[in-house]
Structure 1
Amino acid sequence: MVGWILGEPVAFADLSEIGFRFVFTLFLAGALEEFGWRGFLQPRLQEQRSALFAAVVIGIIWALWHAPLTIGGTGAGYESGEITALLIGLPLFSIVIAWVYNSTRGGVLFAMHFHTMINTTPILEVANVTAVMELAELAILLGLPIGIILYYGRTYLAATRPEPPIPGKTHNH
């Protein structure tokens, strides 16, 4: 999208491929991780600590979970040796998904859809990725989680505390 905005030549991706990847990711692949990351671990960690702490811890665990996919380049969308990028990118991405989860009062399906959208091939494919485009993408990758933290605060990463903090568990306030 950044390339298109900057006037770079773009081509539309194969919409049937995007549809297939979306359905595959949502029902059979990456998005199912959200049952564990957001549906189970996020509420339990943020019951005792901040949502920011929980999101960063999940992001690090998530990066280590994907580490085997970076060994030797498995063809699963990861390149060999990409673990450093995962250790930086996934905690940042986890903050954004924690915001989605907490802002929807524990909506795992919303987190799953957001995860799926990020994992799905972009509709516009840029012919020549430039340094400016990479910097703009880095600004978005850093700016969105930082903006969420600054606007909502680290406690909930949302306007209010998600209720119930752990789905199905009753709490005395």
Structure 2
Amino acid sequence: MIPFLLYWALPIILILGTEYAIKGTLSFEAITAILIYGLLEEIGWRGFLQQQLKPLPELLNVLIVAVLWFIWHLNFDFTSSNLLFLGILILGSWGIGKVANNTHSLLAVAAFHSLNNFFLEMNTLKIILLISLLSIWIIALVIRKNQQNAQKVILS
């Protein structure tokens, strides 16, 4: 229940609040589509492909996932903006992969993925929202990691 509240309910509430503050309307369909689309994509990228490539060195795993993700987005022209996007996908594949490995939660992975889908156009309010969500999620990941380490020490 905690991953659902932390990675889905909280972003929906904050994103809807931001949309209302910016546009004066609530576009629940768009937010839901972003979160559901992110989840469906991550079932394939992190839930399946990254796991299948686990035997490979981490860098090769990340590069393969990033290049396939780049092609998935139909970026065939090697323009400077597309090459920048490929770089972002490489960093994203590494970062989201770390979230997947540390949380074992596709909801967490989908939430991080969805941030990219929602924050294509930035403004001050969205930057505050982005920093707030990332801070909350990183704190939650650190707390989870500390709890896992404490349990390992107790079991030792």
Question: What is the TM-score when the length of structure 1 is the normalising length?
Answer: 0.50
Q: Which residue of 2 aligns with 1:16?
A: 26
Instruction: Please list the CA deviations of residues 98-151 of structure 1 after superposition, one character each: whole Å capped at 9, or x if unmatched.
Output: 01100113x22211111112211379625xxxxxxxxxxxxxxxxxxxxxxxxx
Unmatched runs of 5 consecutive residues or more in structure 1: 1-11, 72-79, 127-157, 161-173
Higher share in helix:
2
1:52 Cα deviation from its structure 2 partner: 3.5
Question: Which of 88, 108, 117 matches 2:106?
Answer: 108
Question: Which of 116, 122, 134 matches 1:118?
Answer: 116
Residues of 2 paired with 1:63 and 1:123: CA distance?
Answer: 20
Question: Which of 34, 57, 61 matches 1:54?
Answer: 61
Q: 1:124 to 1:63 in 2, by over 3 A?
A: closer
Q: Which residue of 2 aligns with 1:32?
A: 40
Question: What is the TM-score when the length of structure 2 is the normalising length?
Answer: 0.55
Question: Which of 62, 74, 91 matches 1:67?
Answer: 74
Residues of 2 paired with 1:92 and 1:86: CA distance?
Answer: 10
Q: Which residue of 2 aligns with 1:139?
A: none
Unmatched runs of 5 consecutive residues or more in structure 2: 1-20, 125-144, 149-156
Q: 1:122 to 1:66 in 2, by over 3 A?
A: closer
Residue 44 of structure 1 pairs with residue 71 of structure 2: no
Within a 5 Å distance, the mapping from 1:142-157 to structure 2 comes to none
Q: 1:13 to 1:57 in 2, by over 3 A?
A: farther
Q: Conserved in 2, the CA contact under 8 Å of 1:25 and 1:119?
A: yes
Q: Which residue of 1 aligns with 2:88?
A: 89
Moved over 4 A (4+): none
1:45 Cα deviation from its structure 2 partner: 0.5
> Number of residue pairs matched?
106
Partner amino acid, structure 2, of 1:58: V
Residues of 2 paired with 1:103 and 1:87: CA distance?
Answer: 24
Cα RMSD of the aligned pairs, angstroms, is 3.3
Q: Conserved in 2, the CA contact under 8 Å of 1:13 and 1:125?
A: no
1:35 Cα deviation from its structure 2 partner: 0.9
Q: Conserved in 2, the CA contact under 8 Å of 1:58 and 1:94?
A: yes
Instruction: Please list the CA deviations of residues 37-63 of structure 1 after superposition, one character each: whole Å capped at 9, or x if unmatched.
Output: 0010111101x1233331221011101
Identity %, equivalent residues: 28
